[in-house]
Amino acid sequence: MAIQWTTRSAAAPGLLLALLLLVVMAATTHAFVLPSLPPSVLARHSPSLVVHSSSSRRPPSSFSSFSPSSSSIYSTATAGAAPLEGGLNVPPSKQGGVRDKLDALYRFTRPHTIRGTILASLMGVLRCFLEHPKAFANPLQPLPRALLGLLALLCGNVFIVGINQIYDVEIDKVNKPFLPLAAQRMSGKAAWAVVVAACVGGLAITKTAFSPLIFNMYAAGILAGTLYSVPPFYFKRFPLVAAATIAFVRGFSLNFGVYYAVREALGIPFAWNPIVLFITRFMTVFAAVIAVSKDLPDTEGDRKYDVQTFATRVGVKNIARGAAAVLFLNYVSAIVQGVVNSGGAFRQWVMVGGHTLLAALLVQRYSRLEPEKLSSIKAFYKSIWDLFYLEYVLYPFL
């Protein structure tokens, strides 16, 4: 049954929807826009942006050989590119200080992925609240456990993106020289400390505060992230396996796990929920598309180190077209499901109208793509993340 709101209770969700739209769009506006470096900087440092490595044609198998002195990328050049994902924009005179270290740590967490995790978590909680408002009669009671759950998710997110940066540091010097390790703004020891702390902390929280089911799902996500990045497994080398790994973690585990962890924390018995099943299925497909399209801007470094991705094998233009087609069909399936609306599970006007608008936005963004221009490829990839965020804005109101 669709949730029925009274006139009084509808005001808050409506206001929340408008507020979330503003926050998400503001937060993502500059998420992937790489500012151009001043000509003087480029003229001075462009030779240093070419990486010379004895391990050419294969990804490095360990991080042990990385040191600031061995890298050929100048910090001054990459610092200019650092605003890719927002941050403190530390001036050159302050580099190396506490503020600079905090900024490097912030960028090490890959903020656009953190935003996705936080948004998915908040919307999962809101979905549960709208279905079981009486269970939140004393909101302070489940708050500590909810905050622990969010902290565990953020720890898992930091571990997965961090371990990937550690083992991909040589590739990132070509593809993403603005990242803290590639730009020498964070040491290898500091990166390992953050990654290990995030892994241990997240596992400890889910082990002590949640059921074995939630812990096992969380541990499976950690394992998947490890196998994706760490030799000799390095699932990133195998496009289908890599896509399935990311889809599992960001699609299934995050959406299914958060909602049922909230129910568990509130003492609500387990029951299958068609809306949660829909968002899990929909976002698993979406995460698989992100897993494939994330390699679109990275073909240069991937080819250099012989990392086989769909983008290097099939070509940027074909993969971008395929990604847009899969997303469009994903929206079509949501629209059809809303029209059929078996058992009245969905609020039809949101399910059909919302996904029609997002599908139209996808078509509009894809029409602007110029596959031969890196800036256009990055803008298209950013638009996929924008759509990913916006789906979560719809989620509580389906």
Q: What is the 3-state secondary structure (H, E, C) of 252-286?
A: HHHHHHHHHHHHHHHCCCCCCCHHHHHHHHHHHHH
Q: Is 82 helix (H, G, I), strand (E, B) or coil?
A: helix
Spell out the residues 6+ positions from residue 73 whose beta carbon is closer than 8 angstroms to its own: 48, 49, 51, 173, 177, 182, 183, 184
**CATH code: domain of residue 218:** 1.10.600
Round to whole Å and give the CA distance between 311 and 302.
Answer: 9
Spell out the residues 6+ positions from residue 280 whose beta carbon is closer than 8 angstroms to its own: 251, 252, 255, 256
Round to whole Å and give the CA distance between 77 and 189.
Answer: 23
Asked if the structure places residue 9 within a domain, the reply is no
Round to whole Å and give the CA distance between 197 and 209.
Answer: 18
Burial class (CB in 10 A: 0-12, 13-18, 19+), 251: buried
Q: For residue 272, what are the CA distances in angstroms to 217, 252, 256, 276, 342?
A: 17, 14, 10, 8, 15
**According to the model, what pLDDT value does residue 330 have?**
97
Asked if the structure places residue 30 within a domain, the reply is no
Asked if the structure places residue 97 within a domain, the reply is yes
Per-residue pLDDT of the chain in tens (398 residues, 90 and over written 9): 333 333 333 334 443 444 444 334 434 333 333 333 333 333 333 333 333 333 334 444 444 343 333 333 333 333 334 333 544 455 554 566 888 889 999 999 999 889 888 988 889 888 888 888 888 877 777 778 888 988 999 999 999 999 999 999 999 998 889 999 999 999 999 999 999 999 999 999 999 998 898 899 899 999 999 999 999 998 888 888 888 888 888 888 889 888 888 888 888 888 889 999 999 999 999 999 998 898 888 888 888 887 778 888 888 899 999 999 999 999 999 999 999 987 888 999 999 999 999 999 999 999 999 998 989 999 999 999 999 999 999 999 99
**According to the model, what pLDDT value does residue 66 have?**
38
Burial class (CB in 10 A: 0-12, 13-18, 19+), 367: exposed
Asked if the structure places residue 47 within a domain, the reply is no
**According to the model, what pLDDT value does residue 301 have?**
81
Domain holding 288, by residue range, is 59-397
**According to the model, what pLDDT value does residue 269 have?**
86
Round to whole Å and give the CA distance between 129 and 139.
Answer: 10
Burial class (CB in 10 A: 0-12, 13-18, 19+), 64: exposed
Round to whole Å and give the CA distance between 51 and 232.
Answer: 24
Structure tokens of 222? 């950690």
**According to the model, what pLDDT value does residue 72 have?**
34
Asked if the structure places residue 54 within a domain, the reply is no
Asked if the structure places residue 27 within a domain, the reply is no
Please give the tally of structural domains in the chain. Answer: 1
Round to whole Å and give the CA distance between 204 and 294.
Answer: 31
Asked if the structure places residue 22 within a domain, the reply is no
* CB crowding 267-288: b at 16 or more within 10 Å, else e: eeeeeebebbebbbbbbbbbbb
Round to whole Å and give the CA distance between 242 and 388.
Answer: 19
Asked if the structure places residue 29 within a domain, the reply is no
